[in-house]
């Protein structure tokens, strides 16, 4: 089976490409290589027969149409996005452009090319903050609270409209917080791991009692393959890791695993509009595809920390000048010591 993967040089997309190549899928990877895209994430598959990389923007209608016509993939698996909430607060424009207009551009091209499957990779953040003990189900209302989650909810709704209006066989997945190797260090777990290992302060937003569900990235990719094979067009599937933790607990566990010290924790100004709790019911994907998460947080966290310890060169190369500027813009005003 041939897949057009968008955003396959990012964190989850590259894990998916590595897994899908191993399983014999042919892959065309379309990625713009923004700050978050990194071809080093794909070194393990770069020379594989049946793998092709194309540098380009999903907003480029001509390019996307040409690729679909040339390659005639059986399915599109759409990861490409601006993905970080903090960056969406600092500068939301790119989120609307890529996540909304880019998804629209892909949907139009997929409709014209009569694509057999369009898998749209979305997020639990579209449901907004949920009160305990509720677990979001796929039919819940969308109440996004950040420019990032609003852009993802908008793209989910565009996908839905292409199924209802044009019969494009599209499926939406909504996953919880992913973690694992190759995650860009702006995100909570790699940022805390690196700061802990380097003896720096660990910036916890607000009281740190916000709840997130943690999903090991390879479990997410297995879920996507299961949905691609056994999911029903027009449906939405939640993908949770069944590992709900307060952020402060995640940070303490990182410190315990890295030999750091709780005195490194620094409570800083909260994220504006910070959702208190996400929680997913994944009953639907369990029942319809048989998928289950296999890597517990207790197993996945040390695997992740070990990967970062073994890849100092990767870390050095992704912490570019642009990253330093982002770090200063996001944390400078929060009074964090460097
Ligand atoms: P990421 O930021 O690591 O990677 C995004 C990739 O998309 C990069 O390779 C980037 O170069 C590419 N890209 C960005 N704009 C593009 C454009 N206009 N055209 C082509 N390529 C472009 O993101 P991630 O964490 O791997 O997330 C992938 C997808 O999964 C996103 O859609 C995100 O919303 C969703 N998701 C992420 C998580 C998570 O915890 N990281 C959880 C649920 C859903
Ligand atoms: O829930 C799924 C979402 O998870 C995905 O849709 C996004 O693409 C992905 O980036 C992630 O969302 P965030 O962008 O919010 O992830 P982040 O790792 O930045 O934050 C996770 C939690 O940790 C959140 O409650 C904010 C908190 N946090 C984060 C950072 C970076 C801190 O307390 N301190 C920090 O320095």
Cα 39 to Cα 180: distance, rounded to the nearest angstrom = 17
| Active site (annotated) includes residue 131 | no
Strands (E), 111-261: 117-123, 170-175, 177-179, 202-205, 211-216, 236-239, 244-246
Catalytic residue among 31, 125, 135, 243: 125
Q: What is the pLDDT of residue 335?
A: 74
Q: What is the pLDDT of residue 66?
A: 98
Cα 121 to Cα 176: distance, rounded to the nearest angstrom = 11
Ligand 1 pocket by C-beta < 6 Å: which residues?
6-7, 9-13, 31-34, 36-37, 57-59, 79-81, 83, 98, 102, 121, 123, 152, 175, 177-178, 184
Domain range summary for the chain, segments of one domain joined by +: 2-178+216-239
Cα 98 to Cα 58: distance, rounded to the nearest angstrom = 7
Q: What is the pLDDT of residue 21?
A: 97
- The residue whose CA is least distant from atom 20 of ligand 2 is 188
Q: How far is the CA of 188 from the centre of ligand 2 (A)?
A: 6
| Active site (annotated) includes residue 125 | yes
Catalytic residue among 148, 179, 216, 308: 148
| Active site (annotated) includes residue 275 | no
Q: What is the pLDDT of residue 338?
A: 58
What are the tens digits of pLDDT across the range 242-300?
999 999 999 999 999 999 999 999 999 999 999 999 999 999 999 999 999 999 999 99
Backbone angles phi, psi at 75, to 5 degrees: -150, 155
The CATH number of domain 2-178+216-239 is 3.40.50.720 = yes
Using 50 as the pLDDT threshold, list the residues of the chain that sit under it.
none
Q: What is the pLDDT of residue 84?
A: 98
Backbone angles phi, psi at 168, to 5 degrees: -65, 120
Q: How far is the CA of 16 from the centre of ligand 2 (A)?
A: 21
From the CA of 128, the nearest ligand is 2
Which numbered atom of ligand 2 lies nearest the CA of 205? Answer: 33
Which numbered atom of ligand 2 lies nearest the CA of 175? Answer: 2
């Amino acid at each position: 089976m041939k897949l057009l993967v968008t955003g396959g040089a990012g964190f989850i997309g590259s894990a998916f490409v590595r897994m899908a190549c191993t399983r014999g899928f042919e892959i065309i990877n379309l990625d713009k290589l923004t700050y978050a895209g990194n071809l080093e994430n794909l070194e393990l598959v770069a020379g594989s027969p049946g793998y092709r990389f194309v540098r380009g923007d999903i907003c480029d209608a001509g390019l996307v149409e040409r690729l679909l016509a040339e390659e005639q993939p059986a399915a599109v698996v759409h990861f490409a996005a601006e993905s970080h909430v903090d960056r969406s607060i600092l500068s939301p424009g790119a989120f609307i452009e890529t996540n909304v207009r880019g998804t629209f551009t892909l949907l139009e091209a997929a409709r014209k090319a009569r694509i057999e499957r369009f898998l749209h990779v979305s997020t639990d953040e579209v449901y907004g903050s949920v009160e305990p003990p509720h677990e979001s189900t796929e039919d819940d209302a969308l109440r996004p609270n950040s420019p990032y989650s609003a852009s993802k909810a908008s793209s989910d709704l565009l996908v839905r409209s292409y199924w209802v209006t044009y019969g494009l066989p599209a499926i939406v997945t909504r996953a919880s917080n992913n973690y694992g190797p190759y995650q860009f260090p702006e995100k909570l777990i790699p940022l805390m791991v690196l700061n802990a290992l380097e003896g720096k302060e660990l910036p916890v937003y607000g009281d740190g009692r916000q709840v997130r569900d943690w999903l090991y990235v390879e479990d997410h990719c297995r879920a996507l393959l299961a949905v691609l094979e056994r999911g029903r067009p027009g449906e939405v599937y939640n993908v949770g890791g069944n590992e709900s933790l307060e952020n402060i607990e995640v940070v303490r566990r990182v410190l315990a695993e890295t030999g750091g010290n709780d005195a490194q924790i620094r409570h800083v100004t909260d994220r504006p509009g910070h959702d208190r709790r996400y929680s997913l019911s994944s009953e639907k994907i369990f029942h319809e595809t048989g998928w289950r998460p296999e890597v517990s947080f207790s197993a996945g966290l040390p695997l992740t920390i070990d990967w970062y310890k073994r890849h100092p060169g990767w870390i050095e190369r992704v912490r570019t000048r642009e990253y330093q500027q982002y770090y200063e813009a996001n944390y400078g005003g929060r009074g964090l010591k460097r």
